Amino acid sequence: MRIADDEPLENVLQRMLRVRVHFALVVDEFGGTLGAITLEDVLEELVGDILDEFDKEEAYIRPGPDGVFIIDGLAPLHEVNEALGVELDTEEVSTFGGYITNELGAMPRAHVPFRLGPIEVEVTSMNERRIIQTRVRVVGPAEAEEGEPEA
């Protein structure tokens, strides 16, 4: 099967499913071969990464020295809670990077530590759209404001 290099992915998916192929050649306007595409490539472009038996699962959370954790921005929030023994909770987002931007109301500045409840966070890698990696340390419950009793 041949696919034009400018054909929309939705059309490519429909054609590959209709003909029941998992592999196709991508050609330019002159019929020259540009490369190959698989059904998995098309699906991953449309819906995101798909882990299969050949893919290694990424370690989103890695313990570091002195109680510091290196946490990927895509780490599921429930996994962060479990690994750190904290309860970061929100109904609006499901990833750690999403939690950070949701709580701050904006993208944080890289390499500037800040506190979110029981954790201290430093964003070590980011781009204009998302937090890629952080360094996190559990520091305990947030201190009560002066004059307020601790809960």
| Contact yes or no for 97/131 (Cβ under 8 A) | yes
Torsion of CA 116, 117, 120, 122, to 10 degrees: -10
Please tell me the predicted confidence (pLDDT) of residue 57.
Answer: 61
Three-state SS at 64: coil
Please tell me the predicted confidence (pLDDT) of residue 150.
Answer: 42
How far apart are the C-alpha atoms of 44 and 37, rounded to whole Å? 11
Please tell me the predicted confidence (pLDDT) of residue 47.
Answer: 81
Mean pLDDT by 10 residues, the chain (151 residues): 94 95 95 94 83 69 92 94 91 93 94 95 93 94 47 39
Query: Whole-prediction pTM value?
Result: 0.58
| Contact yes or no for 151/99 (Cβ under 8 A) | no
Three-state SS at 68: strand
- Sign of the Cα pseudo-torsion (32, 34, 40, 44, in order): negative
